[in-house]
Amino acid sequence: MNNADVKFFISQANYSVSQLYLVHQPFSNDIIYNMKSLIILTAAVLCTSISGMAQTLKKVSYVDGSQKLSGLVTKNAGKKLPGVLILPAWKGIDKEAEDAALALEKQGYICFIADIYGEGNTPADNAAAAKLSGSYKKDYKAYQKRIELALGELKKAGANEQKLAVIGYCFGGAGALETARANFPVQGVVSIHGSLAKDADRPNGPLRPKILVENPADDQSVTPEVMSNLVKEMNEGNADWQVITYAHSKHTFTDPASADYNEIMAKRAWSHTLLFLKEILQ
């Protein structure tokens, strides 16, 4: 049953109730009203169930040497649509990444959520997440390798190899920039409240993917020096770049589960992400 079937069900049920009223006049208006309300409620439950059934994420197992990895792919895999790789925040695959994948699926993108840490390595708390994500930011080549492997899984899922992008949140935002630094074959990257700092001893180089940085104004980890260095890097790399700063917003401003969630700015950031993806992929 699809949504069209549900609408047909409602119309036919309403017609049947009306006929009952004509044939059986003893039915009070209250009874008729309650019957119609029950029909509408049933239809609403059906629509909700259909919506939940229509959008699911499928587990995908892959490996990096002996390390097992477990990503997620959207249900529209295999349709040669533009593809978006999602790099999750520092605690690994979370609801924000999953919700982004499902929302992008509705926009016509195949999405794959990368598993950067691997099975058995999910951080238990913020301290563990800081330590583990920090190790990948330091060993950026290991991070880039995990991103490249995830891009491979996105391609295996049937995404159009000429129309790929990467978006990342927090630690994943740092990964989006590492994607650009590695010049992986993607059209663009989006860093959403990402870690923007880079080791000073790393040289700047060409940056072929287009870059969108969505930065909360009150993110204490992004100092004026960090931002200045990033802009310098992007200019020296001759990148097509844009930085959007969101007022009155702290680090995790896009995450509804965070105390720092800023609904207005989060919606703006998402609209900017969609506009960027549409420009580079469609």
Please give the average per-residue pLDDT across 266-279, as a whole number: 99
Query: What confidence score (pLDDT) does residue 25 get?
Result: 54
Question: Which pLDDT value is given to residue 34?
Answer: 56
pLDDT bin (cut points 50, 70, 90) of residue 50 is very low
Helix/strand/coil (H, E, C) string of 45-64?
HHHHHHHHHHCCEEEEEEEE
pLDDT category of residue 29 using cuts at 50, 70 and 90: low
pLDDT reported for residue 126: 97
Helices (H), the chain: 3-23, 29-54, 95-106, 126-138, 140-156, 171-182, 224-236, 263-281
Taking residues 24-50, what's their average pLDDT?
50
Which of 273 and 25 is assigned the larger pLDDT? 273
Half-sphere CA count of 118, side-chain side, radius 13 A: 13
Interhelix angle 3-23/29-54, nearest 10 degrees: 170
Spatial distance between the Cα atoms of 214 and 168, rounded to a whole number of angstroms: 10
Tens-place pLDDT, residues 166-184: 999 999 999 999 999 999 9
Cα 226 to Cα 200: distance, rounded to the nearest angstrom: 10
pLDDT at res. 152: 99
Mean pLDDT, the chain, whole residue set: 89
Q: 282: pLDDT confidence band, cut at 50, 70 and 90? A: confident
Q: What angle do CA 243, 143, 79 make, to 5 degrees?
A: 75
Alpha carbons 251 and 135: distance in angstroms, whole number: 20
Distance CA 166, CA 171 (A): 13
Handedness of CA 103, 104, 105, 106 (dihedral sign): positive
Q: How far apart are CA 194 and CA 174, in angstroms?
A: 5
What is the rounded distance in angstroms from the CA atom of residue 103 to the CA atom of residue 72? 14
Structure confidence at residue 222 (pLDDT) = 98
- Would you place residue 14 in the very low, low, confident or very high pLDDT band (cuts 50, 70, 90)? low
| 122-164 tens-digit pLDDT | 999 999 999 999 999 999 999 999 999 999 999 999 999 999 9
* pTM of the predicted model as reported, rounded to 2 decimal places: 0.82
pLDDT at 4 over 90: no
